[in-house]
Structure 1
Amino acid sequence: MLKLLFLLLSAGKLGKVLLTGGSMLVSVIAYAFVFGWRYAAGFVGLIFVHEMGHYLAARQRGLEVSAPTFIPFVGAWIELKDQPHDVETEAWVGFAGPLLGSLAALGCYFAARETGSQLLLALAYAGFFLNLFNLIPLSPFDGGRITAVLTPRVWLVGVPVLVAMFFWRPSPMLILIAVMAAPQVMKAWKYDPKDPANQQYYGVSTETRLTYGLYYLGLLTFLAIMAHDTHDMLGAIH
């Protein structure tokens, strides 16, 4: 055990493990005060799976990336120490999070149907909605990273979606996201496809654009249907 601890310390990995595990624990405790510890643990677990999707995709593409860090009632993120060199890599890393997160939510859904657990059904709904929310086509959402493979101008479509979300469910978090998104909106507004730097980064084949466009629309449709259905199922229970 001591030898293993020494190896972790020497590799600089123990601090990363403690940061991820510690921030996850703090998030579980914070959510538990509002929702109870069972739901809190499941919800944080769903976020973890989502972030690990990004982590694994980044590592697959050879990018140096940090382990997930959690902040209660904000979410979690991974830090890309190496930035993608092209938009296709950015889209792949962005897509992997909602994809793996959706599979985790689907697992909760099937388990809920099998056991009749309201808790698992509530977690399934939370997972579907969380990943659907992240597909808003506006950076820094995952949807913005995916749709950038089409053109950054797609981000302008995400602005009214974010505004509609705020009027539907006003939240300080949405205001923070809007502030973070503002520079990206300006980037999309000023985007020049003829700029050599843009051509180098965003220059992909029509097949790649079509492929990611279908991936995006397919996952978006699936999550919208599942979020709607699980919401109705929960409403019928109560």
Structure 2
Amino acid sequence: MIEPAQPMPSPAGELAPPIDVTPEEREYQRARVAFLLPERASSGALLLMGTLVLFALSMWGEHDWRYLVLLISVLLFHELGHWAGMRLFGFQDVRMFFIPFFGAAVSGRNQGAESWKEALVLLLGPVPGILAGCGVAIFSAATKSQGLTEAALLLLGLNGFNLLPLVPLDGGRLFQLLLFSRHRYLELAFTLLTSLALIGVALALETWLLAAVGLFNVIGLFRQARLLRHVHELRAAYPGMVQGPERLDDTSTRALYDASLAMAGTSGEHETNAYVGRARVMRELHQRVRQHPPSALASLALSGAWFAGLLALLVGLVLLAWASRAS
């Protein structure tokens, strides 16, 4: 007696399609399951500590240990602001890590959170750092401490630089979200112009790694253009796609999958575990489809907070000059 085809286990342990379905359908079903499941993140503590060690080793030859401790502390203070905002607003897969030779970063997925919350998260890194720099500058002037003056300079310099409206700095991503994400061509033009400006600033400062970041953004414009085109088409064809992943119907999920195939091309379509990459692109597409710029009032308030951060930076620089003269 011939037994009927048995379902295959899916990545989540669920039942997958029978073995007699087409390879294309099986690949879609695997990607759909992976898309609906939370992405497995590496251990946050291990990632942070491992990258911290690599960052310290990469910077060891250029600075003494006192400055290195101060730099790591300032970077941690900046990134903890982003991290706290992401956790507060329910971002998923929130991870903090250091980047050798460069700095630190926090990543997370804004799955369903309003855009104004994401914009506020961007401000929660540099603005508290600038305010802390102002406070340290005041104590530096009162105590005439050279160490505090150096700490204030680093707090103001690093966080003030991040407020610049240049992609991918916090200020650039803020204005991209508030203003230029309202039309895909405006977003592409803003990314191109600010990336070129970042390259110019990096060359003037002879910071080659920062110039490489700007060049990487320019190269990434081709993918960004394709992504935004698919997002535009999905929004127009599937108004219900603004719902959460678990509430999407099969037609919308298949549309996301087809767009992910178009983003990646057809090469390697049936390679082992290719569905994992498809699911990751599906999440990215779906997140952008759901994301809409903040309201005019919220955009005005957030722009005002950015401007207040700049004013605080100017005040901090004046305080720092006063502290330097006192010490």
Give the TM interval when normalised to the shorter protein.
0.7 to 0.9
CA offset digits 1:130-182 (Å, max 9, x no partner): 11211222332111221121224483563464244134212212222212332
TM-score of the superposition, structure 1-length normalised? 0.75
On the 8 A contact 1:112/1:120 being kept in 2, the answer is: yes
Residues 168, 233 of structure 1: alpha-carbon distance in 2 compared, 3 angstrom cutoff: farther
Structure 2 counterpart SS, 1:23:
helix
Residues 205, 80 of structure 1: alpha-carbon distance in 2 compared, 3 angstrom cutoff: same
**Take 2:303 and 2:326, find their aligned partners in 1: how far apart are those partners?**
36
Unaligned runs of 5+ in 1: 1-11
Identity of paired residues, percent?
24
**Take 1:140 and 1:87, find their aligned partners in 2: how far apart are those partners?**
17
1:1-238 alignment to 2 at 5 Å? 15-28=43-56, 30-83=58-111, 85-147=113-175, 148-152=177-181, 153=186, 155=190, 158-159=194-195, 161-182=197-218, 183=220, 196=235, 201-227=291-317, 230=320, 234=324
Per-residue deviation, 1:108: 2.9
**Take 1:150 and 1:26, find their aligned partners in 2: how far apart are those partners?**
37
Per-residue deviation, 1:60: 0.8
Unaligned runs of 5+ in 2: 1-39, 237-287
**Take 1:42 and 1:168, find their aligned partners in 2: how far apart are those partners?**
25
CA offset digits 1:17-46 (Å, max 9, x no partner): 233234334434544543321221111111
Aligned length: 223
Residues 98, 184 of structure 1: alpha-carbon distance in 2 compared, 3 angstrom cutoff: farther
Mean Cα deviation higher: 28-37 or 173-182: 28-37
Residues 143, 186 of structure 1: alpha-carbon distance in 2 compared, 3 angstrom cutoff: farther
**Take 1:137 and 1:158, find their aligned partners in 2: how far apart are those partners?**
7
Tell me which protein shows more strand as a share of its residues.
2
Residues 191, 17 of structure 1: alpha-carbon distance in 2 compared, 3 angstrom cutoff: closer
Residues 129, 228 of structure 1: alpha-carbon distance in 2 compared, 3 angstrom cutoff: farther
Mean Cα deviation higher: 225-234 or 215-224: 225-234
Greater gyration radius: 2
**Take 1:134 and 1:185, find their aligned partners in 2: how far apart are those partners?**
25
Mean Cα deviation higher: 36-45 or 225-234: 225-234
Amino acid at match of 2:123: F
How large is the RMSD of aligned CA atoms in angstroms?
3.6
CA offset digits 1:99-155 (Å, max 9, x no partner): 232233234323322322212211211111111211222332111221121224483
Tell me which protein shows more helix as a share of its residues.
1
TM-score of the superposition, structure 2-length normalised? 0.57
**Take 1:25 and 1:115, find their aligned partners in 2: how far apart are those partners?**
33
**Take 2:81 and 2:56, find their aligned partners in 1: how far apart are those partners?**
20
